[in-house]
Structure 1
Amino acid sequence: MTGQWAILSGIEGNLAAYEAVLADLRWSTVDSLYILGDVVGLQGENEAVVQRLRSPRDHELSPQVCTGWWEEQCFNLHGMGLQMDVPELLTAYGADAVNTLWESLSRDAVQWLRSLDFGFHELDCLLIHGSTVSYSDELTPETPAIQLCDRLIRADADHLFCGRSGQAFECWIEDGTLQSSVTTLDEPATVHQQTMQPRRVVGVGSVGRRPNQATYVLYSPTSNQVEFRTVSYGAGQGFQTSRSRSGHLR
């Protein structure tokens, strides 16, 4: 792979937003398309989004899709997950959301979602919805640095791309030394030191969560350059794009 990667998350059933991103990508040098979960949600077109992902059109990239928080809720609802209920969904969105999600997807669509990966390890990058801890692990610019270090070490990656928060951001962890110790009843504390090279966490934004505005990331593996893209779409918006090579997009 010599071109750019397009990395996005959070379509959440918003087919128009996904189509706007695909239209934006037609003018790019992207040769890989990654979608980091939450392809379904409460935006009303879950079945259509799943079918669109499963059947890309001629001359379109085949998306590499992993599962996210909303997919986990679907699996639990349909008896395919680790739990037989959906306490997180009920707490966050209420009982009406449970019924809406249940009715929005066919059994075949849920089975296809269940076949997807948890994340992707490519080169020195981990592309995942939350982190290796869980789908719901929400990393943001306000996450404590020690927690970001922990997630990067767990991932065994120099660049962690995630989508759970829906924010677009870039956080660097500078080089340094981590020191830890283990104390047991039988032995004195054993001290371990680990040298950290510069690593970063990148939030890839959200395609479908915000009405009329989709955000995603372009990444160049050869230069490690990250570009944040914002696509405006919908009635009265026309079709507009903006980009930022650093900083935060809220």
Structure 2
Amino acid sequence: MAIAVISDIHANLEALEAVLADIDQRGLSRIICLGDLVGYGPNPQEVVQRVRQRSILSVAGNHEMGVLSDRSLFWFNPKTRANVLRMREMLSEDAISFLATLPRSLVVDDALFVHGFPPRSPFVYLFQIQGETLAKRLAGLSHTPSFVGHTHELVLEGLHQGSVESRILHKGILSLDWEQCIVNVGSVGQPRDGDPSAKYVIWDKENATIEVCFVPYDARRTAAKINALGFPAYYGERLLG
């Protein structure tokens, strides 16, 4: 059965609800989240509650690590660090305890799911590993495909006859005909590709395909809530494309 792969919700409840409705309409029951449930957006508590209510498997993202650990705070720039601290204030103790249970990676149906870069990093961006280094990393992966988030971009890096092939992903279905590949699934709640739609991917193992899905939602409502909380204005502005 196909799996819906979501990532980088970033406390955007409107985007999450729209994506869940789209997933339900397609009759999919398996959902995996690649982390960053919280950060930037206005509804961290509600997003965590919704993920728990739906029993969505999730891994830890860098924003979860920041909420959980003072040591991880130093990874963020000053404005984002301040926002992570606000997330701590907005989350209940129970929600924070739940975030502490999230693993750094998951293997499901022989595919790897991680926030940043395989096999377990919540912090390394896919675009930071390039050229021969990326080819070696791809060749050394024990599972394929690997699914990542973190960059908020829709990209595929595939290994073919020892060389890396890169693709920007667009809406629609794509065959996974690479020896090894890493799929960056975009962002539900903080897309940064100029299109305000919430993004996620459906992986069909049986047919060796992914489907990239664009889901419209009321981004202006989310942006207004961000502004009302006094968060940096661009947190809301970049939701609007």
TM-score category (smaller protein)? 0.7 to 0.9
CA distance in structure 2 between the aligned counterparts of 1:167 and 1:150, rounded to whole angstroms: 22
Contact 1:44 1:104 in 2 (8 A): no
Q: Which runs of 5+ in 1 are unaligned?
A: 57-61, 78-82, 178-196, 238-249
The 2-side partners of 1:231 and 1:152 are apart by 30
Contact 1:145–1:173 under 8 Å retained in 2: no
> Aligned equivalents of 1:204 and 1:95: distance in 2?
25
Aligned to 1:229: 213
Query: CA 1:47–1:149 in structure 2 vs 1: closer, same or farther (change >3 Å)?
Result: same
**Cα displacement (A) at 1:147:** 3.1
- Structure-2 residue corresponding to 1:7: 5
Aligned partner of 1:219 among 181, 203, 209: 203
Aligned to 2:167: none
Structure-1 separation of matches of 2:52 and 2:184:
25
Measured after TM superposition, the shift of residue 107 of structure 1 is: 1.8
Mark the CA change 1:216 to 1:108 in structure 2 (over 3 Å): closer, same or farther. same
Deviation, 1:76, is 0.7
In 1, the alpha carbon distance for the partners of 2:81 and 2:64 equals 17
Q: CA deviation at 1:16?
A: 0.6
Q: Does 1:65 align with 2:79?
A: no
Distance in 2, Cα, partners of 1:137 & 1:230: 25
More strand by share: 1
**SS in structure 1 at match of 2:32:** strand
TM-score (norm 2): 0.76
Q: Which residue of 2 aligns with 1:39?
A: 37
Shift in Å at residue 201 of structure 1?
1.0
Give per-residue Cα distances to partners, 1:6-62, cap 9 Å, x unaligned: 001000100110000011112214231000000111201101111111123xxxxx3
SS at 1:157 equivalent = coil
1:39-98 Cα offsets, whole Å, 9 max, x none, are 111201101111111123xxxxx3111111100001114xxxxx2x61122x25355324
Which letter does structure 1 place at the counterpart of 2:46? A
1:92/1:162 Cα in 2 relative to 1: closer, same or farther (>3 Å)?
farther
> Is 2:123 aligned against 1:136?
yes
Distance 1:111 1:207 in 2: 23
Change in 2 beyond 3 A, CA 1:170/1:116:
same
1:209 aligns with 2:207: no
Q: What TM-score, normalized to structure 1? A: 0.74
Q: Which residues in structure 2 correspond to 1:126-165 (within 5 Å)?
A: 126-131=112-117, 132=119, 134-140=121-127, 143-165=129-151
Number of residue pairs aligned between Structure 1 and Structure 2? 204
How many angstroms apart in 2 are the aligned matches of 1:118 and 1:92? 24
Structure label with greater radius of gyration? 1
* Counterparts of 1:43 and 1:54, CA distance in 2: 18
Aligned partner (choices 69, 73, 88) of residue 86 of structure 1: 73
The corresponding residue for 2:98 is 112
Structure 1 residue 215, shift from structure 2 partner: 0.4
C-alpha contact (below 8 Å) 2:138/2:159 kept by paired residues: no
Structure 2: which 5+ residue stretches go unaligned? 164-177, 222-240
Q: Aligned in 2, Cα 1:63/1:29: closer, same or farther, shift over 3 Å?
A: same
Contact 1:220 1:226 in 2 (8 A): yes
Aligned partners of 2:181, 2:16: CA distance in 1, in Å? 26
Report which of the two has the higher share of helix: 2
User: Shift in Å at residue 212 of structure 1?
Assistant: 4.4
CA separation of 1:166/1:112 partners in 2, compared to 1, >3 Å: closer, same or farther? same
1:199 corresponds in structure 2 to: 180
Aligned sequence identity (%): 28
